Amino acid sequence: MLLGVNIDHVATVREARKSFEPDLITAAVLSQLGGADSITVHLRQDRRHIQEQDIIILKTALSVPLNVEISSAGTMLEFVCNIRPDKVCLVPESPSEVTTEGGLNLKSRKVFLQTAKAVKKLRANDIEASLFIEPETEMVDLALKAGADAVEINTKDYSESESLSDIDRAYDSLLKIASYASKKRLIVNMGHGLTYDNVSPIARIENVTELNIGHSIVAKAVFYGIEKAVKMMRKEIDQA
């Protein structure tokens, strides 16, 4: 299973002082050395961490695919189509949220039409178009209807559940949706709140191509360095 490493929070530390360090490119290169199969960044509308210049430099510096998360509601679509990262994942976005809170509400006609238009533009520029969605069959069907190449299934319920019964219920939902989306010939990725402690069961799910993990790796990197932190996550996934 592939590991996508989200390095947003390296930029969060940098932006806390509006400084030049820690250097995002160094973090990306060391993540690659640690076993990252792709690098993910989220270009938010408020630019709270990742900046346009980061993406421009990352596009030329990486030897693994670059995955950029954006909201199709903002002005970033034209930018990413000009830069042409390998992958773009469309996500919902709220200015008040600490991090992405849920999947795209494709049941909303406005959101669906906006998303489908963005997907069409991404694919026209040879960019893999992914949609961040909840683990529901209707959302998979709507993602397919919108023309997406891939879906990233939100693992928040699994990651944040506290009782064993809730964890089991959320995990079962992920098992079923991965199988369903794969049968629809969509690339299936997963992410949100995955850690060293909870990733192993997710890594055992068939039909999942890639896991996107950020905060837990960057938190571990504070003590061990990012290359080792990625290696440690890579080991958890490979030994699952």
Q: What is the pLDDT of residues 53-98, one digit of tens each?
A: 999 999 999 999 999 999 987 688 999 999 999 999 999 987 656 5
The catalytically annotated residue of 9, 42, 49, 236 is: 42
Q: What pLDDT, on a 0 to 100 scale, did the predictor assign at position 97?
A: 61
The catalytically annotated residue of 9, 49, 69, 136 is: 69
Its pTM stands at: 0.93
Q: Give the separation between CA 117 and CA 98, rounded to whole angstroms.
A: 27
Q: What pLDDT, on a 0 to 100 scale, did the predictor assign at position 45?
A: 86
Indicate if 9 belongs to the active site.
Answer: no
Q: What pLDDT, on a 0 to 100 scale, did the predictor assign at position 73?
A: 73
Going by C-alpha positions, the residue among 145, 70, 153, 138 that lies closest to residue 107 is 138
> Which of the 8 DSSP states describes residue 12?
H
CATH match of 2-238 with 3.20.20.70: yes
Q: What pLDDT, on a 0 to 100 scale, did the predictor assign at position 96?
A: 59
Q: Going along the chain, which residue ranges are E strands?
A: 2-6, 38-42, 66-70, 87-90, 128-133, 150-154, 187-191, 210-213
For the chain, the structural domain boundaries read 2-238
Indicate if 192 belongs to the active site.
Answer: yes
Residue ranges, the chain, pLDDT below 70 = 74, 95-101
The catalytically annotated residue of 93, 152, 192, 210 is: 192
